Amino acid sequence: MSDGHSILLTNDDGIDAPGIATLREELTALGDVTVVAPDGNQSGVGRTRTHTAVVREHPWGYALGGTPADCVAYGLRGLDTDFDVVVSGVNDGPNAGNYVVGRSGTVGAGIEAAFLGTPALAVSAYHSTDFFLSPPEEYDFGRPARVAVALVERALLSGVYEDVDLLNVNAPVDSPEPPVMLTEPHHDYGQEVVEIDEEEGEGELAPDEHRVELHDRTWPDAVGWENPFPLAETHRDRYPVGSDRRAMVDAAVSVSPLTVTHAVPDSARLADVVETLEVE
């Protein structure tokens, strides 16, 4: 499709995941789609990069033995193609909240693209009752994929990417005609540290060592992979209108614009500290 867009597609669930297959099929309506995706699951790696990767040819493009950010770096700098946009997904499960967004491999691919000067969109799927899509093969990723395609097309046409580097999208698979909300990642994060009895761990510990578990508390009243939605009314009160998590509680599509410029804040206090600091 020579008169369409040139699209680089990746994900963090792996090149054999159902979400990327559905998204690739939908994206072909916009132009030429080249897939460079991890050869296995790379969920939760953020923007981690590796130095050496094995690249294997694939009917859709390439499978790469590395992270989503590696895939984007290889696609944008290792292939003889000028891509108009990078699309990452469809991820199995949501990427909402500032902490989760920061560690997501799906979003990390978009951040890598933005640093390399190419606009990007990351799209993740959730179920308004089941929350995570497990097993993913039993769910239809069609709606999130179509949302992503529509947003990519309109964002490129309207010049959105002159102001925004990356769009982070969460879309329900089950809500018919869901509303679309402009959002921002919710700003919260919790961490629980649990001491483990020496008998419960593997391997012996030295006298000055002890073992702990670190549990992320990214949703109130939900630990690990449990579903946070049964207490929907409670969550709705906790999350303000305009946050990505509020949109998910309301079974809506959340669209969060992100930038990677890392703007420098103007801090008079810091300027005073630097000006008066004496190094001996």
| 3-state percent breakdown (helix, strand, coil) of the chain, nearest 5 | 30, 25, 40
Answer yes or no: is pLDDT of 222 > 70: no
pLDDT (average), residues 98-112? 93
pLDDT (average), residues 85-99? 94
Q: What is the DSSP string of 153-213?
A: HHHHHHTGGGT-SEEEEEEESS-SS--EEE-B-----EEEEEEE-GGGSSS---TT--EEE
pLDDT digit string, tens, across residues 120-178: 999 999 998 888 888 999 999 999 999 999 999 999 999 999 999 999 999 999 998 99
Query: Is 130 annotated in some ligand binding site?
Result: no
pLDDT band at 265 (very low <50, low <70, confident <90, very high): confident
pLDDT at position 2, please? 46
pLDDT at position 65, please? 97
pLDDT at position 225, please? 59
CA gap 175, 23 in Å, rounded: 18
Query: For residue 65, what is the DSSP state?
Result: S
Provide the token pair at 106: 């799906």
> Across 7-16, 132-141, 271-280, which has the greatest mean pLDDT?
7-16
Query: Is 243 annotated in some ligand binding site?
Result: no
pLDDT digit string, tens, across residues 34-88: 999 999 999 989 999 999 999 999 999 999 999 999 999 999 999 999 999 999 9
pLDDT at position 206, please? 87
* % of the chain with per-residue pLDDT over 90: 71
CA gap 43, 66 in Å, rounded: 11
Query: Is 221 annotated in some ligand binding site?
Result: no
Mean pLDDT of the residues in the chain: 91
For the entire predicted model, the pTM comes to 0.91
Query: Is 12 annotated in some ligand binding site?
Result: yes
Answer yes or no: is pLDDT of 226 > 70: no
pLDDT at position 1, please? 42
pLDDT at position 227, please? 75
Answer yes or no: is pLDDT of 237 > 80: yes
- Tell how strand 190-196 and strand 5-10 pair up: unpaired
Answer yes or no: is pLDDT of 204 > 90: no
pLDDT at position 252, please? 96
